[in-house]
Structure 1
């Protein structure tokens, strides 16, 4: 009897699923993860690295200037001593700051050294990158205080970029790679994928999702990758507005923000919306730039992994880049936008998205082009953006 009842329930469940599809009910989202991950494959691929390296070796610009900028930075110093902490405590605006700056900057240094290794083939840089990653994987156990998810996103977005290059291109070996993977899985991944930032300003969840996708690639974790892509596809429409969304922007998924008043408050009090306006535009362009950068970075990683997300988000990214760079370039701010005044400072966050949309997809982007070319070579913001002119400028690979 129990077996018959179980079989009957299974049939009823199947029929209910079919009926849901017939009535237009929600269908499961398709798997986003590739059957096999491409390595190195977080933000930069081997082909992209080879292209940029060839340009540097030929002394061509802007790559040579970008390379010199990177190699002359403190992040490329072979005398750098990593400063790991067991518990990184970061409060609001990194106050208190117990290891927050050191963690972010050591992650950028590990990535810088990994790039330096690839461009020079000097093993000293690979060993320095490994030294930094090993020091942290042997020490850190947790992030605490209110900025723990954001701090984990900033550092967690950078660590896998370094680890991918070292593990898959350095032939000198990395005995500590397994321990580093354990660190990413146990210390970072739970923090950046726990859904704790749905009502925070959007740059939080976007960089956390960037970290989750990069970590998933390094771990060859298809489930974590799928979860991160699902979060991304929900968050991007809630961060960048298109007129096709209707009178109001889309609210963050699974959040308590759902009324008109709540949405306007979440969008910094902005009640008039235009293509490319972002949820943080009227806060400042700096935080908005971080959100835009993560949107592009995630799409770039997805493209390398063979499941290109650019077609799903390209209109939002295109309009956001054009909207904000227009004002950075000097366009007068209209009275309906942020009360007639915006806080500029987009920083050097446009290179990845501009290259993908303009150079690969052939989309005309005059404002973004003017801004991007005027701000080369890009350096690092000391949080998670680093050396994108070197790796992505006019890079067709």
Structure 2
């Protein structure tokens, strides 16, 4: 029997399109467009292929539609023949949005006419590496799958045989892998399915398109066979599809989105090889996956997008809703669910497959439904919940296990990389006729704020074409009603408030335009007016990472910046009066200045507080401020406290520094007490406070370099005499607390010196002495700093550690069971230094949420030299999953009580069952508390 891919039309002649049935409206429009003579000016219409010439051709590649004996439509992996034909017609006619997406695609390296396989060997069509056992081969497949798919699309659109040859060579190389050299490796199920799908999408296009049999003399190989041969299908099936599926993809118990990623590749393989039985099984795995014994981690539609009934006793909201289960883990993984399940719905729908409305099995019954409408549009509902949270809105979510799980803030706000938002909106709106604004309002809002094919991410221009998820190829299947709708342009590298923010007080916010600037106006209030800005991508936060906030004001107010509406702000700033001029204010997002557990990864909530309806205009956030701005910097930091005595001619410098020597600074103060002066050119402050001015005075000093303002908050205490001023300068020193000897001795020396000369110093000398005394107080270090929540040692700032990232130490005391020490295969240790020892009485351990097994079986050891270790804990930690990851406080062994140590080591001695068998022995801790006292080593 002749295979469906071996057909008569793959001959020398190019023939027109064929179809065995009536033309659809889309196809008819496409054919009408194709019947118009393609002159160079009309055909290109601003779009070119990678070499800039192909779209001027007046010849077209034909495509063959086929239905196999197993009932599969070909070509039919991800897009239909009609989709491809329409996309080609629209691109060649310069119609948006096809044009912009095509133009973006050809800007990538995958569109190069000289593209070569990453796995090319020295022999034609043979791989350099024929074994698939690790990430090295995986990385090559990812790149080659993008290359082959891009080249195949370019071939069909342009007719240039160079692209067909490039794509065929990549595919043939992978079709000659050794099927005996496949072996599972960690996470292979996540990263191999989508590349296989993309490679087979390319093969499907080449298998069902015509070619120029006269084409040859290509590159170094001379004549190259451009026909799709039966051997190509056999080799691809035997050497790639079958072993990849068996080794990496065929499993229905993977964890959440690790279920859908491999299923993308498996279904593509089943379609390509006409495997109806496996395809039908895969469809059910996609919708319900009822046969999985691990339903608590089921990544199918019904499992991952859960319906929570209003009568569920765990539901506190009083209404039913759909929640996304993996959003309790993090929003990177949950976004992957939305993306891959949408891609799977398209793969299945392209084949015309409908499913039983309850069981989700492939069905031809009259009541069968589209995967998109399955379970009352469950994909749309799940994506809507995801968009709701990512945009910044409060989102209902319930831990259906009865535990303490909540929505994770990790990666919240990172919507820029999710192209599926547009795909879902277009499918439901234009193909299914759903009122998305009503049924999924948050998805509709995310669609309005979505990027075009080119966009800025963290200040760098990014391209939609690439990545690890399905979705980007959807541009080939744009619904016809989109014709003429241009996607958003790339814009600039700044994150614009009018494009990427939502308001929680709509009556007090508005979007306005003046000239070429569009901005968001926020009217402050005593309780605060809040907007949330998403898609923030900061620079390296392990060091100083300043961002610039472009604002305009006509008065002063307070700005609070937080990770959400329920967490205290990580930054509170006084907004100066910019006199209706646009200015930058900067703040540092370094981990040391803005602890990660208190800041949003990619989202920030800005709350304006003020009286008198203070208006603040927000233009954008500049995440490249560290490279592009040189803000004035006050040596005192953001705030300072000054102390003087009434009647004294007080003088000090409140000048700032600017790294750009070309900048000229000017100064302005608000709240100046009567008689005080601030020199606008130098920042020199002078004042002789009178008798009635004894007390505290607060003022703001603003340094302006013409583009950036920096605010210094000044508290000035005027005391009635020198003794009172001395006592005021001691604020922060507590004689009841124990301090380290070095810091206490330094402080005492300064305090005694200032006190001894208090009566003999001149006014100017005494003012300077008070500054020295304040500095000495600020330098005091507590011997036993404690945490506010349990009075255990606040050790992160007084230890060194072998943990890979410094912020991981702070994670161990931040009170958040979602932050953790890092996944390690070795113990971690803390070093209190050669001058100190700690006498512990107990240790507190809290497991990371969802991973109680990774801290199970741990002990704590102590040492004086970091080499010889003594067991300290009286028992090992347990898996606290059943107790909602409660803190375990474990006393020290009786025989070590009263002993002190320099080093402490936390080590898993008897690991719990691994979450993933591919990663045995991982240890990960959320909280680690030390109860005890630190003492200095006697000298």
* Preserved contact between residue 190 and residue 262 of structure 2 (Cα < 8 Å): yes
Question: Which structure carries more relative contact order (alpha carbon 8 Å, separation 6+)?
Answer: 1
Is the alpha carbon distance of 1:339 and 1:186 closer, same or farther for their aligned partners in structure 2, counting shifts above 3 Å? closer
Q: Which residue does the alignment assign to 1:371?
A: 446
CA contact (8 A) 1:351 1:388 kept: no
Determine which of 39, 44, 59 is the counterpart of 2:94: 59
Q: Specify the alignment match of 1:104 in structure 2.
A: 142
Report the 3-state secondary structure (helix = DSSP H, G, I; strand = E; otherwise coil) of the residue aligned with 2:132: strand
- Mind listing any 5+ residue stretches in structure 1 that lack a counterpart? 1-32, 91-96, 249-259, 261-270
Distance 1:370 1:54, change over 3 A: farther
Offset of residue 54 of structure 1: 2.1
1:341 — aligned with what?
Answer: 409
Instruction: Give unmatched runs, 5+ long, in structure 2.
Output: 1-67, 120-128, 212-225, 289-299, 355-370, 399-404, 454-462, 483-939
CA–CA distance in structure 2, aligned partners of residues 316 and 274 of structure 1: 13
Equivalent in the alignment of 1:329: 391
* Equivalent residues of 1:108, 1:384 under 8 A apart: no
Aligned to 2:234: 178
Comparing 179-188 with 67-76, greater Cα deviation is found at 179-188
Distance 1:304 1:240, change over 3 A: same
- Alignment match of 2:346 (pick from 300, 325, 337): 300
Which whole-Å CA distance do the structure 2 matches of 1:189 and 1:246 have between them? 42
Greater mean alpha carbon deviation, residues 336-345 or residues 378-387: 336-345
Comparing 387-396 and 171-180, the one that deviates more: 387-396
The whole-number CA distance in structure 2 between the counterparts of 1:244 and 1:137 is 49
Structure 2 CA distance for aligned equivalents of residues 119 and 49 of structure 1 = 8
Q: Could you tell me how far 1:231 is from its partner in structure 2?
A: 1.2
Change (3 A) 1:386 1:243: closer
Cα separation, 2, equivalents of 1:274 and 1:342: 26
Q: Which residue of 2 aligns with 1:127?
A: 165
- Tell me which residue corresponds to 1:383: 468
Structure 1 residue 79, shift from structure 2 partner: 2.1
1:53-77 deviation line (CA, Å, top 9, x unaligned): 2222222222111001101101112
2-side partners of 1:118 and 1:244: how far apart?
49
- What is the CA–CA distance in structure 1 between the aligned matches of 2:95 and 2:156, rounded to whole Å? 18
Q: 1:328 to 1:395 in 2, by over 3 A?
A: farther
Give the Å deviation of 1:198: 1.2
Distance 1:273 1:237, change over 3 A: farther
- Structure 1 residues 146 and 245: CA distance shift in structure 2, 3 A: farther
1:287 equivalent among 329, 333, 356: 333
8 Å CA contact retained: 1:210, 1:297: yes
Aligned residues of 1:34 and 1:306 also touching (Cα < 8 A): no
Q: Which residue of 2 aligns with 1:26?
A: none
Q: Aligned pair in 2 of structure 1 residues 343, 120: CA closer, same or farther (>3 Å)?
A: same
Change in Cα spacing, 1:183 to 1:365, as seen in structure 2 (3 Å) is: farther
| Aligned residue runs from structure 1 range 70-149, under 5 A | 70-84=105-119, 85-90=129-134, 97-139=135-177, 141=179, 142-149=182-189
CA displacement 1:189-210 (0-9 Å, x = unmatched): 2135532x5142x211112112
Alignment CA distance shift 1:191-1:139 (3 Å): closer
The verdict on how the C-alpha distance between 1:307 and 1:334 changes in structure 2, with shifts beyond 3 A counting, is closer
Q: Matched residue of 1:241: which SS?
A: strand
Residue-by-residue CA offset, 1:313-337 (whole Å, 9 max, x unaligned):
5621111222222333343567979
Pairwise CA distance, 1:121: 1.8
Once residues 322 and 313 of structure 1 are traced to their aligned partners in structure 2, the CA distance between those partners, rounded to angstroms, is 15
Provide the residue aligned with 2:196 in structure 1. 156
What is the aligned partner in structure 2 of residue 315 from structure 1?
377
Contact in 1 for aligned 2:323/2:397 (Cα 8 Å)? no
Correspondence 1:197-212 to 2 at 5 A: 198-200=253-255, 202-212=256-266
Do the aligned residues in 2 keep the contact of 1:157 with 1:214 (CA within 8 Å)? Answer: yes
Higher strand fraction (1 or 2)? 2
Contact 2:305 2:378 in 1 (8 A): yes
User: Is residue 292–residue 320 contact of structure 1 (8 Å, CA) maintained in 2?
Assistant: yes
| Separation in 1, partners of 2:110, 2:136 | 20
Residues 276 and 318 in structure 1, CA contact (< 8 A), matched pair in contact too: no
Equivalent residue for 2:243? Answer: 187
Deviations 1:68-110, CA, capped at 9 Å, x for gaps: 11011011122222123323344xxxxxx32222211111111
Asked whether the equivalents of residues 354 and 369 of structure 1 are also in contact (C-alpha less than 8 Å), the reply is yes
* Mean Cα deviation higher: 347-356 or 215-224: 347-356
CA contact (8 A) 2:326 2:333 kept: yes
Distance in 1, Cα, partners of 2:103 & 2:319: 42
Q: Is the 8 A contact 2:324 2:385 kept in 1?
A: no
- The alpha-carbon deviation at position 394 of structure 1 amounts to 3.2
Q: Which segment drifts farther, 218-227 or 341-350?
A: 341-350
CA contact (8 A) 1:110 1:128 kept: yes
> SS of the residue aligned with 2:352?
coil
Counterpart Cα distance in 2 of 1:311 and 1:217: 22
The answer to which structure has the higher helix fraction is: 1
Q: State how far apart, in whole Å, the 2-side matches of 1:286 and 1:238 are.
A: 18
**2:118 is the alignment partner of 1:42:** no
Using structure 2 for the length normalisation, give the TM-score.
0.33
- Which residue, 356, 359, 374 being the options, matches 2:427? 356
User: 5 Å matches for 1:220-235?
Assistant: 220-234=274-288, 235=300
8 Å Cα contact 1:189-1:212 kept in structure 2? yes
Q: Note if contact 1:299-1:310 (Cα within 8 Å) is conserved in structure 2.
A: yes
**Contact 2:111/2:151 (CA < 8 Å) preserved in 1?**
yes
In structure 2, C-alpha distance between the alignment counterparts of 1:193 and 1:246, rounded to whole Å: 38
Work out which of the two has the higher radius of gyration on C-alpha atoms and give 1 or 2: 2
TM-fit CA distance, 1:34 = 8.7
The answer to which of 36-45 and 322-331 deviates more is 322-331
Displacement, 1:156?
A: 2.1
